[in-house]
Chains A and B, each alone.
Chain A
Amino acid sequence: EAQVTQNPRYLITVTGKKLTVTCSQNMNHEYMSWYRQDPGLGLRQIYYSMNVEVTDKGDVPEGYKVSRKEKRNFPLILESPSPNQTSLYFCASRPGTAVEQYFGPGTRLTVT
């Protein structure tokens, strides 16, 4: 089954404790993105990657890191999480030149 998976789905952590949210897709898609979704602010892109070892900042990259060492994986790293990073996070992937973007199930992160 074609899918985007994220782990963990739910995470409660404390300020400053480094964490990684994993994202994996099995569709051989070139383009992957991370979004955060907050009430009243909609979906905002954090980082995107156009292929292995090619990443770039989206609209709200501060406080986040990403890497793309393999085509299927695109982890999101919070080196020192803060309460303002409490949000619902979505990973997404799409073929390089086609249009449909597939979203993962989401990760609800709470930073206390």
Chain B
Amino acid sequence: QKEVEQNSGPLSVPEGAIASLNCTYSDRGSQSFFWYRQYSGKSPELIMSIYSNGDKEDGRFTAQLNKASQYVSLLIRDSQPSDSATYLCASQGRGGGSNYKLTFGKGTLLTVNP
């Protein structure tokens, strides 16, 4: 059973701080990793994708991947109250068929306090 684990939180940070969200995955065959943001009652929205070891930066967001440790993280710099949401980590295996499936973690609730 492929699993993606996240700390459920809540993670609370002050406005302007760095929020650090972490995720581990069980399937060593996973090739692609994604971070989704989900506001309460809304649909998930893709904010970052990462496919190779190292860091990937996009604006205030940095995704980090370490395949040897089976670990993915998301850093949010200069956190804003509008970043308050649940963040979902997802992984995808290689190849076709059921490997197109995204396996989601249960999400981490982030609260940014003004």
Contact = CB atoms under 8 A, between A and B. Distances in A.
The answer to whether A and B belong to the same complex is yes
Interface of A: 31, 33, 40-45, 48, 50, 56, 58, 88, 90, 94, 96, 99-101, 103-106
Contacts of B49: 99-100
A41 B102 CA distance: 15
Interface of B: 32, 34, 41-46, 49, 88, 92, 96-98, 100-102, 104-107
A106 B101 contact: no
B43 A40 contact: no
Contacts of B92: 99
Contact of B32 (A44, A45, A99, A105): A99
Given A100-B46, A104-B43, A43 B104 contact: yes
Contact of A105 (B43, B100, B105): B43
A40 B102 CA distance: 18
Contacts of A40: 106
A56 B98 CA distance: 8
Given A40-B106, A99-B32, A99-B34, A45 B101 contact: yes
8 contacts: A33-B101, A42-B88, A45-B102, A48-B100, A50-B97, A96-B100, A101-B34, A105-B42
A33 B101 CA distance: 9
B107 A48 contact: no
Nearest to B32: A99
Given A90-B43, A100-B46, 8 more contacts: A42-B106, A44-B104, A45-B101, A50-B97, A58-B101, A88-B41, A99-B49, A103-B43
